[in-house]
Amino acid sequence: MGTNAISMRGLTKTYGRKRAVDGIDLDIESGEVFAILGPNGAGKTTTVEILEGYRDRDAGDVRVLGTDPQGANRHWRNRVGIVLQSTTGLDLLTPREALRANAKFYSQTRDLDEVIHAVGLDEKADARIAGLSGGQKRRVDVGLGIIGRPELLFLDEPTTGFDPQARRDFWQLIRSLADEGTTIVLTTHYLDEAEALADRVGVIAGGKLLALDTPTGLGGRDTEEATIVWEEAGTRHTLRSAEPTAEVGRLSARFGGEVPGLQVTRPSLEDVYLELIRPHVDADALAAGSTTGEVAR
């Protein structure tokens, strides 16, 4: 287990009669970007809080950076960065002041101005946090998480409140951290975010790990039959095939080049995810997730 950034065996947490986490086994490799997906009440937040050392487990073996996070010391915390869903108590400070204060807890820190620029707060660096928008406050949270050059970074819904451009700027920041060797554990309701960033994804529901794979391979979606759609003689035609390239070639030859209205699709990450969690959520939540691209919280 020592070669991984995170390893857990039989991780279990119970609240009363409910098993919030039910015997999860999982390894996350050093330098990996790993996304944890799951509906509300799935057990993913409890799992991550145990890994962060914020919550005690009832059973199982857990190692994070080679250490049991349950009662880990200050040296271990110096190696870990955490971006919570929200941070409170900073309203009277500016982003610059908050980041400077937080940097004092770490032995190695990033340049303050570099962090401010990386999270897109150049114009608000010296404004009171109380007056910032929700998205700007979220950027402060992210800055607090990365100021200490962590070996392992936990990101809990990091882009909530970001506009589309800000989300993509943040994605580039995460890619740069990964390139530097930072291990990143990401929880997100945005499936496009998981697909864009994660080396692997794990789907948790009902306290269990339901699936574990790359975003393209989850649920066998990379080997599923493709759906080919085209238009011919005023009619829309549909064909499913395990050899879509060959079928498109035959269609192209028949049409003498471009195929009218051609579309070739495989099941999306969202399709596979919703199918996996279907037994664990109600129909209304599934419908909301399938129409917005974001799973209901």
Is it the case that residue 135 has pLDDT exceeding 90? no
pTM of this structure: 0.83
Segment 274-284, tens digit of pLDDT = 999 998 876 44
Confidence of residue 158 (pLDDT cuts 50, 70, 90): confident
Segment 199-208, tens digit of pLDDT = 999 999 999 9
Half-sphere exposure of residue 160: CA atoms within 13 angstroms, side-chain side:
18
Write down the residue that tokens 């085209």 correspond to: 230
Segment 222-264, tens digit of pLDDT = 788 889 999 999 999 999 998 899 999 999 999 999 999 999 9
Mean pLDDT of the chain: 90
Q: How wide is the angle at C-alpha 105 spanned by C-alphas 104 and 106, nearest 5°?
A: 90
Segment 86-133, tens digit of pLDDT = 778 889 999 999 999 999 999 999 999 999 998 889 999 999 999 998
Q: How much is the pLDDT for 285?
A: 52
Confidence of residue 164 (pLDDT cuts 50, 70, 90): confident
Confidence of residue 165 (pLDDT cuts 50, 70, 90): confident
SS3 assignment for the chain: CCCEEEEEEEEEEEECCEEEEEEEEEEEECCCEEEEECCCCCCHHHHHHHHHCCCCCCEEEEEECCECCCCCCHHHHCCEEEECCCCCCCCCCCHHHHHHHHHCCCCCCCCHHHHHHHCCCHHHCCCCHHHCCHHHHHHHHHHHHHCCCCCEEEEECCCCCCCHHHHHHHHHHHHHHHHCCCEEEEECCEHHHHHHHCCEEEEEECCEEEEEECCCCHHHCCCCCEEEEEEECCEEEEEEECCHHHHHHHHHHHHCCCCCCCEEECCCHHHHHHHHHHHHCCHHHHHHHHHHCECCC
| Distance set, CA 32 to CA 123, 130, 157, 175, 178 (Å) | 32, 35, 18, 11, 7
Confidence of residue 286 (pLDDT cuts 50, 70, 90): low
Segment 32-51, tens digit of pLDDT = 999 999 998 889 999 999 99
Q: Does domain 4-216 fall into CATH 3.40.50.720? A: no
Q: How much is the pLDDT for 93?
A: 96
Average pLDDT over residues 13-24: 94
